[in-house]
């Protein structure tokens, strides 16, 4: 097993752990899948994947590394990211408070948002997340060992892009199945309430963080 392959395997493993663990993007994909169905969740996931690939490309070309040297740029990004998470918290809280006004049998078959709106929401969640930039810089640095070639960079981006599609779209598919939709219809208030708390806490932590 060559050193480049070992670096790639390490990067892929780290990416699966980072992208697959619960976070704002995964939580929102889960909620949309159960509430609005598979198609809506897949569109949202496509936006998240696009944002991930964008930051991956930026990290690979060194542009995002330059951004990290300018504290002002990251501060502005953190403010936008924190405010956007608080906006998502507000939407989830509103959905939780109005859960009782909607007949249970309609849950999971709601009229989805427009395709552009869902895609834009997924894209913004990743583009306004400073952790995405820093995580990608760490991944690229992890994968580029001594004597790394341009092939290694391409393999990192392509492999992580495939993993990104698999993970985020996997969440959309799994949580849009009939059992999950029925579960959502019974626990919609609690699910949206949990999302509201999660997004609110993440937004506040991002706004108050120093790094």
| DSSP codes joined into one string, 128-168 | T-HHHHHHHHHHHHHH--TT--HHHHHHHHHHHHHHHHHHH
* Other beta carbons within 10 Å of 178: 8
* Rounded Cα distance, 117 and 123, in Å: 10
Measured CA distances, 63 to 15, 54, 68, 78, 120 (Å): 20, 11, 9, 18, 23
User: What mean pLDDT comes out for the span 102-117?
Assistant: 59
Looking at residue 104, what is its pLDDT?
A: 40
- Residues 134 and 79: their CA atoms lie apart, in Å, by 16
Dist. CA 81–CA 133, nearest whole Å? 12
**Predicted local distance difference test score (pLDDT) of residue 99:** 64
Residues 6+ apart with CB under 8 A from 208: none
Burial of 126 (0-12, 13-18, 19+ CB in 10 A): buried
> Residue range 65-87: average pLDDT?
70
How many whole angstroms separate alpha carbon 23 and alpha carbon 56? 18
List the structure tokens of 113: 């948002």
Mean pLDDT in residue range 83-90 = 81
Look up residue 44 and give its two tokens.
């949202």
Quote the pLDDT of residue 94.
83
Question: Mean pLDDT over residues 1-15, rounded?
Answer: 75
Confidence of residue 155 (pLDDT cuts 50, 70, 90): confident
pLDDT surpasses 50 at 69:
yes
Task: Please check the confidence at residue 168 and state whether its pLDDT lies above 80.
Answer: yes
Is residue 12 helix, strand or coil? Answer: helix
pLDDT class of 44 with cuts at 50, 70, 90: very high
Choice between 133 and 90, residue whose per-residue pLDDT is larger = 90
Residue 27 phi, psi dihedral angles, 5° rounding: -65, -40
What is the predicted pLDDT for the residue at 70? Answer: 63
- Looking at every residue in the chain, the average pLDDT score rounds to 79
Q: Residue 120's pLDDT is what?
A: 93
């Amino acid at each position: 097993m060559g050193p480049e392959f070992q670096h790639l395997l390490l990067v892929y493993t780290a990416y699966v752990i980072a992208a697959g663990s619960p976070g704002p993007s995964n939580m929102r994909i889960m909620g949309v899948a159960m509430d609005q169905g598979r198609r809506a969740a897949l569109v949202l996931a496509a936006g998240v994947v696009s944002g991930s690939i964008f930051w991956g490309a930026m990290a690979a070309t060194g542009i995002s590394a330059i951004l990290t040297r300018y504290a002002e740029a990251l501060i502005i990004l953190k403010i936008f990211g924190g405010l956007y998470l608080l906006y998502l918290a507000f939407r989830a809280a509103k959905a939780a408070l109005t859960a009782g006004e909607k007949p249970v049998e309609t849950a999971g078959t709601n009229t989805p948002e427009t395709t552009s709106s869902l895609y834009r929401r997924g894209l913004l969640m990743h583009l306004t997340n400073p952790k995405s930039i820093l995580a990608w810089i760490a991944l690229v640095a992890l994968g580029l060992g001594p004597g790394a070639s341009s092939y290694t960079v391409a393999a990192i981006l392509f492999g992580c892009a495939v993993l990104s599609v698999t993970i985020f779209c996997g969440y959309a598919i799994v949580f849009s199945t009939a059992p999950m939709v029925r579960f959502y219809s019974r626990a919609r208030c609690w699910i949206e309430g949990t999302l509201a708390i999660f997004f609110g806490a993440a937004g506040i932590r991002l706004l108050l963080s120093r790094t």
